[in-house]
């Protein structure tokens, strides 16, 4: 599943082409994806101007000029493909087509159909079921060591599981949690409450750095992910822990080997020598 850096990369690509543009046409080719699509979605979007294009956690938010927001989620394999003009043919698994007034066309392609869209009033976002219980944005100014400490203090789960909990912090996924814990020298098996305090203060900057580095690299391409421009991300070439089972630790002076364990059904990669 695309994680925060991948979704942010897609958002930036869409923003460059769609912000301020009017949707001259919208085509919905099926009534549902992961969930049923909003009724009369194409009709309700046609003629609307996209005033802003934001991200919350792993969601794309298209703010429209009528006070509504289109919520988009890429699911496991969804892609937002940008074309300079409307394609003459229909590609496989293209379910929704957005055409702007300058001809720019964005197609939502999803062969697994785990992605979804919703359309709600912009002012109701914070209380919507997708967002009401989300934790802070990890790249936001209000996410710091004190805030993470507050959210970890009573948690007895491993820190890896706690950071994947969207109620603790929004948008983090398996890859970037592994990478941030490695950079911070914190074992993924350590109890979350024991990270509160000094370790949380050390961890937060590494979370932000990993995410920013990944965004700058266009995200990580492992299976289905591509940027909205069609380019692949390349942060996977800079992984220091994720996917490196059996390889030497990349931390200077460490002689350990990267190990793989399974936590909550997900692979965790770490160095037991320098991550304590």
**Angle between the N-to-C axes of helices 145-152 and 198-216, in degrees from 0 to 180, rounded to the nearest 10:** 110
Which one of the listed residues 56, 58, 155, 244 is annotated catalytic?
A: 58
> Widest CA span of the chain, in angstroms?
61
DSSP class of 37: P
Residue 199 annotated to the active site: no
Residue 3 annotated to the active site: yes
Q: Which of 111, 121, 11, 123 is nearest to 57 (CA)?
A: 11
Question: For residue 119, which phi and psi values (nearest 5 degrees)?
Answer: -135, 115
Residue 266 annotated to the active site: yes
Residue 202 annotated to the active site: no
Q: How far is residue 266 from each of residues 162, 178, 274, measured CA to CA in Å?
A: 13, 11, 21
Helix (H, G, I), strand (E, B) or coil at 45: helix
Which one of the listed residues 21, 44, 260, 266 is annotated catalytic?
A: 266
DSSP class of 115: -
Supply the residues annotated as catalytic: 2-3, 58, 266
């Amino acid at each position: 599943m695309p994680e925060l850096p991948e979704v942010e990369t897609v958002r930036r690509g869409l923003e460059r082409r769609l912000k301020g543009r009017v949707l001259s046409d919208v085509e919905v080719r099926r009534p549902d994806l992961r969930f049923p699509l909003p009724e009369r979605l194409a009709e309700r979007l046609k003629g609307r101007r996209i005033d802003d294009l934001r991200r919350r956690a792993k969601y794309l938010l298209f703010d429209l000029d009528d006070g509504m927001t289109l919520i988009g989620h890429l699911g496991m394999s969804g892609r937002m493909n940008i074309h300079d003009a409307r394609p003459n043919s229909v590609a496989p698994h293209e379910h929704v087509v957005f055409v702007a007034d300058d001809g720019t066309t964005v197609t939502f392609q999803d062969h697994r159909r785990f992605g979804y869209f919703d359309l709600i009033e912009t002012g109701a976002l914070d209380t919507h079921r997708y967002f009401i219980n989300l934790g802070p944005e990890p790249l936001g100014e209000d996410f710091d060591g004190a805030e993470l400490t507050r959210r970890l203090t009573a948690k007895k789960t491993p820190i890896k599981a706690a950071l994947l909990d969207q109620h603790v912090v929004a948008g983090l996924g398996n890859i970037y949690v592994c990478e941030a814990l490695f950079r911070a020298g914190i074992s993924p098996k350590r109890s979350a409450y024991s990270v509160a305090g000094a370790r949380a203060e050390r961890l937060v900057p590494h979370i932000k750095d990993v995410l920013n580095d990944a965004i700058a690299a266009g995200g990580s391409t492992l299976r289905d992910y591509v940027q909205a421009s069609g380019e692949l991300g390349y942060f996977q070439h800079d992984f220091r822990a994720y996917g490196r089972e059996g390889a030497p630790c990349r931390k200077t002076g460490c002689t350990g080997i990267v190990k793989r364990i399974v936590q909550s059904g997900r692979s965790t990669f770490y160095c037991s020598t320098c991550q304590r």
